[in-house]
Amino acid sequence: MTTNADEPRTTPRRRSPAGAAVLRQDVTEAIRAAVFEELAAVGYARMSIEGIARRAGVGKTAVYRRWRSKLHLVLDIVSALAVQGLPAPDTGSLEGDLRLLYEVTSRALRHPVASQVIPDLQAEAARNPEIAEALQKALREGQDGVATGIVTAAVQRGELRQDIDRDLALDLISGPLYWRSVVIRGPKPPKGYLDALTRATAGALKAL
């Protein structure tokens, strides 16, 4: 009979099964959630496996079964963001797609966890090339995948030129809101800001 490898801390320890250990998905997800909470609370430098395990309600061994260090744990979590990405807007118009993207992105970047974790990881990325690579992949590929879809759909509808500069277009779409929310960490956009940003971005894209 196969037993679960991850046992609550209050459960008496059992002998490990002879075959490969079974890693419970609910425990894995609890650890992932705890990583974001711990990063937001204490930052990467002060984050520890002990603190993560305590927040997740598991023992340290449950964390080490999945990741061999906090660096590899954070790299895995951040890299997963690139795969998840943002929902692709499909409103039928360039301005509609941009407006929906900005609404979703603005809310995501204002989330308390994201507003603490992203700047902290950016600072750590300046000292750690592995974190820099993973963070760039998560932020750029996740956002650019959606932005590329918006540009492609607009080209197919005839709203944008076939030979549009794709790289510049992606910078125009992704740059302003990221700058405001993450770099200068401004307050919640004032009323009408996202509408104005949508019109300005659409106009700039059509001028390329």
The whole-chain average pLDDT of the chain stands at: 82
* Interatomic CA distance for residues 119 and 89, integer angstroms: 27
* Interatomic CA distance for residues 118 and 179, integer angstroms: 12
Instruction: Report pLDDT for 17.
Output: 45
pLDDT confidence bin for 4, thresholds 50/70/90: low
Q: Which of 56-60, 186-190, 199-203 has the lowest mean pLDDT?
A: 186-190
DSSP 113: H
**99 compared with 1, residue with greater pLDDT:** 99
Query: Structure pTM?
Result: 0.65
Q: Judge contact between 58 and 26, C-beta under 8 A.
A: no
